[in-house]
Copies of this chain bind each other. A is one copy, B any other.
Amino acid sequence: MKQINQLAPQDEFIGFFLLRELTVKQTNGNPPKDYFDIVLCDSTGQLSAKYWDVSPSDKETFFPMGLVKVQGMAHLYREKLQIKITKMRLAADSDGVSLTDFIRSAPIRPVDLVFAIKQAMNAIQDGEIRKVVAYCVQKVEEKLMHYPAAKTHHHAYFAGLAYHMTRMLEIGDFLCKQRPFLNPDLIRAGIILHDIAKPEEMTAELGIVSDYSLKGKLLGHIAMAANWITEAAIMENIDLDSPKIIALQHLVLSHHNLGEWGSPVQPQTAEAVALHQIDTLDAKLQMVEDALDTTPESEEWTPFIRGLENKPIYRMKLEP
């Protein structure tokens, strides 16, 4: 069974896919007829597809985010590969396929990512800081197993948020060794807390963000996380005016660096400067890696990437 990134023009195929998007459209004929404009995906990529001659019952059967068995043919349309679906049915339990096999996902198992995050949390020496981190992590622990880090910006896939945290923790550990003036407790806490409210800011399923929550829109994940730290301190009986609580709030509030990027204050502690830099470094390099991974090997240039000054990346290959 071929995967999406292996299909070539004129290939006829049968296989299972995730119906990532489905729109009912109408031909311009008179009377117009319904057809489905579809995006199919599996873990290797996604393709546009058309399903002509839609029946009324089809419109009751197929919806976005459903798993389907498809018979179809690949062909070039305006220089891009597209699929014409000839037959389609919903996947049944007996097919033995699972949604999570068909989505893009972090390259490490969620359970291992969350384990690594908790290990870092438990490595925090200061008991109060550790308690605040634990309080916030427990709020979203289940969602950490699958939430992406953003809608499209970076790490926009299954468990992308936990993957982002894990990689940042690795960089943080390296930098704390290279520069002993940094406080490892604050670096670890800052990394774990900086995006901790994202799962409450967005609504996501299978690593795909469909919308922002009301709190996400009206407060934003930065203010939400600051509020959680307040809540944690009250619940754990930690002085709200203690330097530790101020330091943690400052890390979260300043991690976007500039007001126009959403931070009401700018980094003013060593760890806050480091946190912003680690966050940016990991996000930008992951954008590059993901763009190269999801661009067919045969293409030299990725699409334009908004987070990289809206430039595409060239797949530089040097001969030995």
A residues near B, CB below 8 A?
23-31, 33, 35, 52-53, 77-78, 125-126, 129, 167, 170-171, 174-175, 178-179, 181-183, 185-186, 214-215, 217-220, 222-223, 226-227, 230-231, 234, 240-241, 243-244, 246-247, 249-250, 253-254, 257-271, 273-274, 277-278, 280-281, 284-285, 288-289, 292, 308-309, 311-314, 316-320
Contacts and interface: CB of A to CB of B under 8 A. Distances in A.
Contacts of A253: 218-220, 223, 264
A227 B241 CA distance: 12
Contact of A226 (B217, B227, B246): B227
29 contacts: A125-B320, A126-B318, A126-B320, A171-B174, A179-B289, A181-B288, A181-B289, A181-B292, A218-B247, A218-B250, A219-B265, A220-B264, A220-B265, A222-B264, A247-B316, A257-B309, A259-B260, A259-B262, A259-B263, A262-B265, A263-B264, A266-B309, A267-B308, A270-B285, A270-B289, A273-B284, A277-B277, A277-B280, A277-B285
Given A167-B178, A219-B253, A309-B257, A269 B28 contact: no
A168 to B, nearest CB: 11
Copies of this chain held together in the complex: 6
A285 B246 contact: no
A246 B215 contact: yes
A27 to B, nearest CB: 4
A316 B245 CA distance: 12
A262 to B, nearest CB: 5
A269 B219 CA distance: 12
A152 B284 CA distance: 28
A273 B288 contact: yes
Given A171-B174, A259-B261, A269-B314, 20 more contacts: A23-B78, A27-B28, A27-B29, A31-B52, A181-B288, A183-B318, A218-B253, A219-B265, A223-B226, A231-B234, A247-B316, A258-B260, A259-B260, A262-B264, A266-B308, A266-B309, A270-B292, A270-B316, A271-B316, A278-B281
